[in-house]
A and B are shown apart, each in its own frame.
Chain A
């Protein structure tokens, strides 16, 4: 057994416990399970699941291919629409996407296991390194993709397919964006994110430059001078401030940093966690941070969210997962003050909240929760350094239906654009569609003018 000592400590558990706690959340289907699951698909016409998928994967077709013993063809169907279909199969909140739309819910309240089937087929093709795409004739055009997250990777792949040369610039050490630094450990085990990056890059024609930060190492104008077009897939590099007293106390940490460090750890034993952890926020990040805190051996983990259950961004499934792992979720509580002792977190004082006249206000009542570790998951922000005069709204880049920004030759997609869903799969869809748009514009520009009689 590990230790329940107070303080932010690493090595709370035995190696075996770390191993067990951070293994695959949904183990992969084996061949037999996949056939049984695939048999449940009705091969719907104009299937609702397909409409619900942000990348519009032809779900009935890929499931039928699995059921007829053709997982490679199935993977091809998946990757045609979503080259990161392997990661999406692991991280998509399918219960609110394709599986929610499955007609099996109507009669049996149990959808076809679309996500797990998708993973089954994608994994087989990736394990065998089956590449389905060849580059078109070189177009002679070069495109800069800034950000190597799902949006950037999907965009780069589709551009490479079209014969363009792509250079990806990313500020981080490794490519993958939040697939590498954000997604919960138990959703992407065995270094899947890097394996997927390699699989995507295998098409050729894509160069990745890491540790290259827009705003620090280069500007958008530099990129436009060097390349024919630019795609921005910057994600959300900033985090919201708590604006509560005592925020600087030792033991107050950004949840995304905590998760990123955890994702980069080999053994998890080096990741320090408190005995009593309070996570502030109500989204996917809050749940992921809380669950992983628990899995690291924290004795008590409490999520405090300033609104009600119905307002939480974390899906029902995520909330249930947190509850199952022993995380307490408390609503209508807003941080007022971090209570510090010797400069270190000792607790948190919270205001009770309510909605009055449609606005969130405090009721005047307060409460205190003992804590030695506070994780902030109160939202990320877009950092626009180095972008110049690009049009933003609500702090995010404004794009049209094809991903074009207000600037000529500049496209954007993923979390950094306005109106996104902050999902991996949406980022993939936007990156892919922006690539189509870029290709279209570049192709039109290089067409010789034809006289119209």
Chain B
């Protein structure tokens, strides 16, 4: 059995699956249920300042997009931080941590960008026995209008400043949660690192409008005929989150900075992908909100079985393993040539590969062969783009097969060069030409 125990900046949990700060972690009742179901840790729903708590809208908070069979693909929300009294939360956190000493309990915090605000809340949190804090610099709606959340996360200087205060006023590990609503994710990560953060976590939700009601012309979710942009999460955001995690993991300035990966994680596979791209653990919100806490059982067994099958003993064996393979486009090997291949036995003859290639790509797939409906790749036209693979409804029916060095590429009439060669030295590259001249 693979060892799934997680040690993230000194915070220990029996597995790397944490619940992200959100409704599933808003109170003791939910968190107790989550721990019973097997979650390794939780980041408590973001706490605000002492005093009257924030209020939420009293109408719908969620918008969504769906795939086939109404499978939830993307969720958006206009919920704010916790709308419960600070002391109620703190009391419950303390009790839960006492009940579940082996699980990680992190306090997410968002208070105004003033030293005193942070200075006064940190001891209160520390008193609960929480294992660490997460600074919510991500919430993209509502709180950002009040100069908090993403409004801080979008200004690297503020991040650095707040992180510094936190490191100064608490002994707890500090995780800085980043907003993806920014052009270059490396900048806030670097700022957090300069401020002395122990780790970053990402992504928080993405600015979004999921849909518009075509009868009332109101964006959804609609509050009395009006809508506001909300934060997007769920399976649809995973690719964006993976890229941002990878960017930080391979940036020489932040390389090695612990990352808690968040965004669209729904299955053990998603989680494993975050881990190999450099995350030390993962956090989940939408998948739990869609299916309930039980999904963690699938995640634990899936990750563990995959690690066993591949001979990985513990999380350190896999963490960051894919990072060296994330490259800039300019360094990709232009001498690597692949062609699509259609397995006729599993082909159901829907014709989608043909029409995709015919209408929108390279006219490289037949519709008829000798008058019979049959879809075959014409290697002399195939550029190896992979579109057909992605539109085919049958898994593994179409695969990309790399040509071995020395083989003929029927499209170009050239044999495959065994040597690596990239754009930086390509004759068509004006920069390369200049350098040569």
Contact = CB atoms under 8 A, between A and B. Distances in A.
A43 B352 contact: yes
Interface stretch (A34-42, A359-367, A442-450): A34-42
Nearest to A107: B348
Contacts of A47: 350-351
A44 B70 contact: no
Given A48-B349, A103-B348, A39 B354 contact: no
Interface in B41-83: 68-70
B394 interface: yes
Contacts of A35: 70
Interface string B298-316: 0000000000000000000
Contact of B348 (A40, A43, A46, A104): A104
A44 B375 CA distance: 13
B367 interface: yes
Interface in A261-280: none
Contacts of A46: 351, 355, 367, 373
A45 B352 CA distance: 6
Interface residues of B, number: 16
A106 B349 CA distance: 9
Given A42-B393, A107-B394, A36 B352 contact: no
Contacts of A106: 347-349
Given A35-B70, A36-B69, A45 B348 contact: no
A54 to B, nearest CB: 19
Contacts of B373: 46, 48
Contacts of B354: 45
Interface string A88-123: 000000000000000110110000000000000000
Interface in A34-77: 35-36, 39-40, 42-48
A1 B355 CA distance: 60
A45 B68 contact: no
Interface in A425-446: none
A44 B352 contact: yes
A107 B350 CA distance: 11
Interface in B355-395: 355, 367, 373, 393-394
B371 to A, nearest CB: 14
Nearest to B392: A42
Interface residues on A, range: 10 to 19
Nearest to A39: B68
Contacts of B68: 39-40
A116 B142 CA distance: 47
A47 B352 CA distance: 10
A293 B347 CA distance: 45
Contacts of A104: 348
B351 A44 contact: yes
Given A48-B373, A107-B394, A42 B352 contact: yes
B70 A42 contact: no
Nearest to A36: B69
A42 B69 contact: no
A107 B397 CA distance: 11
Contacts of A36: 69
A43 B393 CA distance: 10
Interface in B373-422: 373, 393-394
Interface string B176-207: 00000000000000000000000000000000
A36 B354 CA distance: 26
Interface centre among B69, B348, B350, B351 (most CB of A within 10 A): B350
A45 B351 CA distance: 5
Contacts of B70: 35
Contact of A44 (B347, B350, B394): B350
Given A46-B367, A107-B394, A39 B349 contact: no
Contacts of A39: 68-69
A390 B346 CA distance: 52
B349 A103 contact: yes
Nearest to B358: A45
Contacts of A45: 350-352, 354-355, 367
Contacts of A42: 350, 352, 393
B398 to A, nearest CB: 14
Contacts of B348: 103-104, 106-107
A44 B354 CA distance: 10
A47 B373 CA distance: 11
B247 to A, nearest CB: 36
A47 B367 CA distance: 12
A46 B355 CA distance: 9
Nearest to B395: A107
Contacts of A48: 349, 373
B350 A103 contact: yes
A122 to B, nearest CB: 23
Interface string A1-40: 0000000000000000000000000000000000110011
Nearest to B397: A107
A323 B297 CA distance: 46
Contacts of B393: 42
Given A44-B350, A106-B349, 11 more contacts: A42-B350, A43-B352, A44-B349, A44-B352, A45-B350, A45-B355, A46-B367, A47-B350, A47-B351, A107-B346, A107-B394
Interface of A: 35-36, 39-40, 42-48, 103-104, 106-107
Considering the complex of A and B, which 8 residue pairs feature the smallest CB-CB distances, nearest first?
A45-B351, A45-B355, A106-B348, A103-B348, A39-B68, A44-B350, A103-B350, A42-B350
19 contacts: A35-B70, A36-B69, A40-B68, A43-B352, A45-B351, A45-B352, A45-B354, A45-B367, A46-B351, A47-B350, A47-B351, A48-B349, A48-B373, A103-B348, A103-B350, A106-B347, A106-B348, A106-B349, A107-B394
Interface of B: 68-70, 346-352, 354-355, 367, 373, 393-394
